Chains A and B, each alone.
Chain A
């Protein structure tokens, strides 16, 4: 009965070291994640609820937050679609230099994001390689929200590819063959059989790409133009407030971002948990 009372954390197990591992994980997470975030929230709390609300509902803050989250969601969505396509090509086809292409996928991780931002700006500026083609069509990329979107797509690319790839590799070919013998055309098999099986991995990749995009700073500020109310992202606004010594304001915006991000991630996890409950895990 002693085991049931209390937290019931201690269960007999053949794998030793639960207490040590659990304690370590908790301490580590606390030091690395919870304490810094907690400090930020405490600092923001010093404003009082009314003060916090004032800052967060300031039109410039609202515009920056909206821009950050809308472009991040769209970028994560684009990455979800094309990440699946790239993963598909990497898993299902054999072609020369496949390993090289596979390595390319990780480059957005490896590059300092500021470098990526400068490169993208150079290419998409009205006199750049691609920008000069788009300019006559009236499409401006650099120094607009569209430019932000492109930067966020760039830095979020690896997530969906890398989460979907292993699942697709493990996917039982016999399931597709069964669908074919039942009369399903190739497109029906992909959309009704294969893609539904990839959804958990796609969602995970989407959530990671979204989280990364929301926090992205380096690559965006070069291509965005940073015009308040138009192309000024929330992380930049935080830096601007810090430079003005508005620490409380900066932490308030940071806390708002934290809450929204947390809400989005919780939502994705709830969807995942619901799927797992419904379809099982094995």
Chain B
């Protein structure tokens, strides 16, 4: 599967720049967009600047408002208040049809009674006569797009005769055919199995780099968002928690929600007193820096801990479980006679059940 993701792009590059130069990528500005359904609010005044040509992920748990925001961008939903601008021009005044966005659904939403080629050409065929290319031109462009999505030779098939990954690539080609100003993807790989999903991720990144559309995709899969996006928007309960590059989001999560939603984490209740972090009645060798006195929550990641000698003030606990985790081992430590548990990754040597161990996080954050 790796082969198709990389082979024919070089060959196609010239052709593609011709295909897509008619529309240059647009900036998308979201200003204080709120949406409520009856008394429940799905979005509370969200603001976001999406740069031209950017690949941006809307990441959040279900019910976070990410799909609502995407549907508002597409014109399939209308905000209760707020503005959406494409290149500085109001987009909310445009109907779905006029907005010219390419939308790809998790369910593919292909037209079952049309061949692959007819599906791809649909957006061109329904144009008003004045803007509609000739039949042969539609066919030529559709075939070109099928080559771009690596489905050449399957143009006469019907959607039911394709695999999930192939169907999703047809949906991409169909969305690209209308030369969209913005490409919107709603959980595009959600219905596919893990292997196909990883391949399609790399494929999408390459297609994006090739065609340069401003692309917004919705996902609840943080791994997908971090791997694929230029920037990640973390949403929770209809609000934006954090916007940043994958590194910023992962390394400097600015809220307990982001820390625990992105990557794996363990939490310990701590106290800050006199510039020192305390776990129960024992101080920890962690500089409190500018933290103010009072209770807080210490967040750490399982793979970001070191074993420390008993002489230092580490988090000491007893190993209660050992589990295989990919290439390493996960130890569950019981702290304070079982009041708290944390998960850590430790070197395999010497750790046996019930042995006592002290650890300190290399990276950590305290939220107060």
Contacts and interface: CB of A to CB of B under 8 A. Distances in A.
A183 B126 contact: yes
B106 to A, nearest CB: 8
Interface residues of A, number: 23
Nearest to B126: A184
Contacts of B107: 172, 174
Interface stretch (A48-56, A143-151, A189-197): A189-197
Contacts of A93: none
For A196, A279, A281, the residue with the greatest tally of chain B CB atoms inside 10 Å of its CB is A279
A97 interface: no
A185 B126 contact: yes
A174 B171 CA distance: 12
Contacts of A188: 126
Interface string B228-262: 00000000000000000000000000000000000
A180 B97 contact: yes
Contacts of A184: 97, 122-123, 126
Contact of B109 (A175, A183, A278): A175
A179 B103 contact: no
Interface in B156-173: 158-161, 171
Nearest to B184: A181
A35 interface: no
Contacts of A185: 97, 126
For A177, A183, A279, A282, the residue with the greatest tally of chain B CB atoms inside 10 Å of its CB is A183
A280 B97 contact: no
Interface string B94-130: 0011011111010101111100000000110011000
B161 to A, nearest CB: 7
Contacts of A179: 111, 122, 126
Contact of B123 (A183, A199, A280, A281): A183
A177 B103 contact: yes
Interface in A256-282: 278-282
Interface of B: 74-76, 96-97, 99-103, 105, 107, 109-113, 122-123, 126-127, 158-161, 171, 174-175, 177-178
Given A177-B96, A184-B123, A185-B97, 6 more contacts: A179-B122, A181-B97, A182-B123, A183-B178, A197-B113, A280-B161
12 contacts: A174-B105, A177-B76, A178-B174, A179-B111, A181-B76, A181-B101, A181-B175, A183-B97, A278-B158, A279-B112, A279-B160, A280-B112
